Amino acid sequence: MPLPTPAPPAYSPEDCAICFESLHVAPRDEEGSSYMIDDVELYCNNGRPNNHHFHWSCITDYVKSGGDRAKCPLCRGHALDARGRMIVGVTNEGGVQGGVDLGDIIDEEIFEESQPESWRLEQAFLGLMAQCDYAEAEELLRDRGVDVNCTYPTGGQTALHMAAMNDDVEGVELLLRYGADKAQLDEAGWDALRAAREVAAKEVPRLLA
């Protein structure tokens, strides 16, 4: 006599509906001693309190690896809103947030992951410059060969445009040291000097003239 198929583990709304482990996850570092919540609530047509919940990485990996985002992985309930968007509620260390367009975030991540390594390094460099983290930004220029004239994803601005608009002398000097092109134009047709003047920057125009 064949053995009965084992019943799937019982789902509790405290658990992830993919890996069936607790949504309360251990803190990443030693400092925060209490457990954190990592919860994505999918509005899978069950209505509260019966919606299914997931770890952020479980549900995003599921969709990225080809899972049908229109359906809940557990109950197969319809998971998109009237406009076809995958809207979820998120609770994690950043707080509680409703109405998060997870499909949009996943699409952006898929795009980023499909880009070459050089593109990712450029975006990291631009992010560091925006945060005035010069030591790390310089490391990428010096050791990783990042193009100092690379541009942000929209608007065509370089790190030099950004530093110019922040009237950031240290940033501008660093970029010029690495050969930033003062004449490079953004999509509005502005060079860094024009961008600096537009925001009435006081210090950097002398470096850019």
CB of 43 to Zn ion, least distance (A): 9
Whole-number Å distance between alpha carbons of 177 and 12: 58
CB of 64 to Zn ion, least distance (A): 14
* Closest CB to Zn ion among residues 90, 159: 90
What is the SS3 assignment for 31? Answer: coil
Q: Please give the structure tokens belonging to residue 100.
A: 């998060």
Binding mask 28-57 for Zn ion (x = CB under 5 A): ----------------x-------x--x--
Nearer to Zn ion, 68 or 170 (CB): 68
DSSP 82-140: TTS--EEEEEETTEEEEEEEHHHHHHHHHHHHHS-HHHHHHHHHHHHHHTT-HHHHHHH
Q: What is the spatial distance between Cα 81 and Cα 84, in angstroms, rounded to a whole number? A: 5
Among 22, 37, 62, 77, binds Zn ion (CB under 5 A): 77
Query: Least distance in Å: CB of 79 to Zn ion?
Result: 7
**Which residues, 6 or more positions from 110, have their beta carbon under 8 angstroms from its beta carbon?**
64
Binds Zn ion by CB under 5 A, chosen from 72, 86, 128, 141: 72
The answer to whether 59 contacts Zn ion (rule: CB under 5 A) is no
Under the binding rule (CB under 5 A), the answer on residue 25 touching Zn ion is no
- CB contact set of 18 (below 8 Å; sequence gap of 6+): 54, 55, 58, 59, 62, 73, 74
| Chosen residue from 58, 129, 160, 172 binding Zn ion by CB under 5 A | 58
Does residue 70 bind Zn ion (CB under 5 A)?
no
Binding site for Zn ion (CB under 5 A): 16, 18-19, 44, 52, 55, 58, 72, 74-75, 77
